[in-house]
Amino acid sequence: MFALGILEQLIALLPFERGIGLGVIDPKADLFLGALFLLQKRLEQLARQDPQAAKELRRRIVIYDFSARSAVSSYNILARWPDAEADFFAANRADLLLDLLSGSDKLSLGGAALLQKALLLLSEFHLPITYLERLLHEDDLRLRLLDQCQNSSVKNFFFRQFPRIPKPTVAAVSRRMEALFSSEGVRLALSGNAAPDFRKLQDEANIVLINCFGRNIARGVRRLLQGLVLSDIRQGIFARQKRDHCFLWLADEAQNFFITEKLRDNITDVLTMARSYGQKFWHAFSISYSEHVHGSWRPSASQSASHEYPLVILHERRARRLRIPETLPSGYRQKTKAAARPFFRKKFLFSDGGAGHGA
């Protein structure tokens, strides 16, 4: 795997480059587990040579594994971003949930409005999305929250419009959320009160590993988790304060970021607008996309030609040409001798039939 080659070189440098951080978003676990393996080997090496450096590197590692049931990391998707307007945040979350958790029946405009107002109410009191079912069906809980609610539009909606919403519409909203909680690991993570602060994680040059894969996590839920994480990362990017700290994001199966208009907007913002934060504010996405699924998207000139923004794109056909004979334990592939230089020294662009370009 080409991305593991980049990771291995970066992980070797991390103990001595405290202004460099990296993150992995993985919906199928191989890159996530490969990164864990490389970090473990590096920590073992540092423990023998420089115990203090090993301790510091270990402190910087942050893991969000939605498949874990014992070591659970809280990820409350209704925890508002700092300084975000409540209505904008709720609309963003509702759009992603409706786009990526589509049901067999089409949800009406009233159902979409119900979901958005419910998310607004829950997020005001820092309650996780696992409370949604109770909010829709338990009058006592709903009345207690509305009694303390400060949002007049939410109160008006639930007192005046909610009683007139047909029961099948309320049931349709509930059904779309049920898929989120079919996996115990996902349910436990989403039940927490806190959410990752991606601005802080990037500013402090942490090593962030996010796994959206699990045997009990449906494909649609994996895509939703990946999309929610991207939305939060995008918000963190534009809120950064320490722009002199470089940060690299590696997103496996990133064709999933283009399956809906909302996701395309998020990734386009990252690929184009992040460069305005300065040459040292760099991010990169390692993208493997399939023509027969999302072949209409190609990086635009502004996305691929920016010297401030290194973009790594691997086409599936080109990636298959990389010969990687050795294997890591558990079947994870090791880097080739031609693995990329650290991202902060080079800019790489691999696209259809194109060659890599250095900046």
pLDDT for the residue numbered 39: 93
Overall average pLDDT of the 215-230 stretch: 90
Residue 345 binned pLDDT confidence (cut-offs 50, 70, 90): very low
Q: Is 286 helix (H, G, I), strand (E, B) or coil?
A: strand
Overall average pLDDT of the 6-28 stretch: 82
Q: What is the pLDDT of residues 132-169, one digit of tens each?
A: 999 999 999 999 999 999 999 999 999 999 999 999 99
Burial status of residue 264 (CB atoms within 10 A of its CB: 0-12, 13-18, 19 or more): middle
Residue 271 binned pLDDT confidence (cut-offs 50, 70, 90): confident
Contact 252, 25 (CB under 8 A): yes
Residue 269 binned pLDDT confidence (cut-offs 50, 70, 90): confident
Percent of the chain at pLDDT above 90? Answer: 43
pLDDT for the residue numbered 194: 92
pLDDT for the residue numbered 263: 81
Report the interhelical angle of 261-273 vs 86-100 (nearest 10°): 120
Q: Is 169 helix (H, G, I), strand (E, B) or coil?
A: helix
Of 99-103, 202-206, 256-260, least confident by mean pLDDT is: 99-103
Residue 89 binned pLDDT confidence (cut-offs 50, 70, 90): very high
Q: What is the pTM of this model?
A: 0.79
Is pLDDT above 60 for 11?
yes
**DSSP helix, strand, coil percent of the chain (3-state; round to 5):** 55, 10, 35
Q: What is the pLDDT of residues 102-131, one digit of tens each?
A: 655 567 888 999 999 999 999 999 999 999
Distance CA 193, CA 126 (A): 7
Contact 4, 209 (CB under 8 A): no
The answer for residues whose C-beta is within 8 angstroms of residue 104's C-beta and 6 or more apart is: none
pLDDT for the residue numbered 342: 38
Distance CA 129, CA 285 (A): 29
pLDDT for the residue numbered 286: 47
Residue of higher predicted confidence among 100 and 154:
154
